[in-house]
Amino acid sequence: MRGPRHFLLLRDQSGAVAVLTAVLMVTLLGFTAIAVDLGVLQYQKRMLQTVADAAAIGGASELPYGDAASGAQTVASQNGFISGNNSAALTVSNPPSDGPHAIDSSCVEVIASQTEPTHFAQVLGIKSAKIQARAVACQGSGPACMYALSSSATNAILANGTPNVQSTCGIVVDSNAGQAFLCNGSGTFNTKSIGVVGGYLSNGSCTLNPTPVTGIVPQNDPLTYLPEPTPGACVTPNPSPINGTGNFTLNQGTYCGGLTINGSPTVTLNPGTYIFTGNFIVNGTPTVTGNGVTLYFTSSGGITVNGATNFNLTAPTTGTYAGILMFQDRVDTAQATINGSNTSTLQGSLYFPDAPLVFNGSSSTNAAYTIIIAQSITFNGSVTLNDNYSSLPGGSPIKTAVLVE
């Protein structure tokens, strides 16, 4: 009788094993389903983080223009993420709503979220999962401080003779010409970087350090966000011309017909914005000093500095024109010429967006920072460009967006 009892016992055990195996298989399949879906969701979250990062940089880049939200939305849509479609949502905050940059108005926070359907986990009743990604980008000082904006000019940057250009920041040449950057003679360019859309040529013993990088993407005008000052009532009496010697003090306002300085006077500009509706011409060896000033040249104005003028001018540190020393109307193509002594200090941006600029025998060694932006730039002397923007609460007026969170 032992045989049949043993058979029944084995049959009972095999049935129990079968049930246990079935239960374990269901559990294993459940875990596998969750693992597969978690992997898919993790991949989707990484993709969503890429969208949030790009949108935050896009939003921060648009802060000078006052449309951070639309900038972020535009970049997100370019990456295939359209808020409102298929539960996708993009929240843009300036300043950020949370984190270490929560009160910093120069930063933009982007939170991207969407609901993703599950696949295998639906057998466990989990039909969807919400994923979210967050990024914060802030405005920082741009890496370049010299821009030649012409898109096609030959010799958009031209250095003649024995130019000595020392720069702690970068140079950008937007021209796509085969010879967009030409250095003649025995000059030297020591800079942080040199980027050229087209090509370059170094003649004679001219030294370019570092070697220019060609084929870069055009950078375009980095100060297009700046509004142009509006001329007001004419300064009365208009002191032009200022001749001979002596001390003269000028106040901000609109100088109708421009201003001419001859001889060797000492001219002090009080802080403010000076608008010239005619030419600003300096001849001789005067000393022109001004702290916290912006010189704006209308479409009928311009600047020509002849001789060995001793310029000691610094731009404002606050307000709309913080960091802007000279600004020529965007439709004015008249050449700007600046000569000066080797002790001159031009601290601020020299902004001639649609005009050529000729720099002769000038130096800004003592300036904490100098920015040069023009259609084309010609050097016939020495110039030092520094990039210490510590006097400007917002840093350089040229901005770049940097991902910080």
- Name the 3-class secondary structure at 1: coil
Supply the DSSP string of 35-62, one letter for each residue: HHHHHHHHHHHHHHHHHHHHHHHHHHHT
Sequence ranges of the domains in the chain: 2-141, 144-397
Specify which residues 113 forms β-bridges with.
89, 132
**Which stretches does DSSP call E strand in 142-185?**
144-148, 157-159, 164-167, 170-173, 181-183
What is the arithmetic mean of pLDDT over 210-228?
93
* Segment 98-155, tens digit of pLDDT: 899 998 888 999 999 988 777 666 666 677 778 899 999 998 888 899 999 999 999 9
Q: Which residues contact 197 (CB under 8 A, 6 or more apart)?
A: 151, 173, 174, 175, 176, 180, 214, 215, 216, 217, 218
The two tokens of residue 178 are 């085969």
* Segment 297-324, tens digit of pLDDT: 998 888 998 877 888 999 999 999 999 9
Percent of the chain with pLDDT over 90: 50
What is the arithmetic mean of pLDDT over 332-361?
88
Q: Which residue has the tokens 């730039």?
A: 377
Comparing CA positions, the residue from 288, 287, 285 lying closest to residue 270 is 288
> 124 with 26: CB under 8 angstroms?
no
Measured CA to CA, the distance from residue 256 to residue 279 in angstroms comes to 9
Which position has the higher pLDDT, 55 or 163? 55
Q: Which residues contact 303 (CB under 8 A, 6 or more apart)?
A: 276, 279, 280, 281, 295, 297, 326, 328, 336, 337, 338
pLDDT of residue 185: 76
> 264 with 284: CB under 8 angstroms?
yes
Q: What is the CA radius of gyration of the chain?
A: 32
Q: Sorting pLDDT into bands at 50, 70 and 90, what band is 221?
A: very high
Which position has the higher pLDDT, 311 or 354? 354
Comparing CA positions, the residue from 189, 185, 155, 149 lying closest to residue 169 is 189
Residue 376 has pLDDT above 90, yes or no: yes
CA distances from 213 to 160, 194, 235, 265 (A): 21, 6, 48, 45
Q: Are strands 128-141 and 399-403 parallel, antiparallel or unpaired?
A: antiparallel
pTM value is 0.81
pLDDT of residue 181: 95
The two tokens of residue 146 are 């010299």
pLDDT of residue 309: 80
Count of Cβ atoms closer than 10 Å to residue 228 Cβ: 14
Whole-number average pLDDT of the chain: 86
Count of Cβ atoms closer than 10 Å to residue 167 Cβ: 22
Residue 84 has pLDDT above 90, yes or no: no
pLDDT of residue 394: 85
> 185 with 209: CB under 8 angstroms?
no
Residue 280 has pLDDT above 90, yes or no: yes
Comparing CA positions, the residue from 225, 390, 226 lying closest to residue 317 is 390
Count of Cβ atoms closer than 10 Å to residue 237 Cβ: 6
- Name the 3-class secondary structure at 185: coil
> 111 with 134: CB under 8 angstroms?
yes
pLDDT of residue 1: 45
Q: Sorting pLDDT into bands at 50, 70 and 90, what band is 363?
A: low
* Segment 152-199, tens digit of pLDDT: 999 999 988 777 888 889 999 999 999 999 988 787 888 999 999 999
Least confident span in 76-90, 181-195, 253-267, 353-367: 353-367
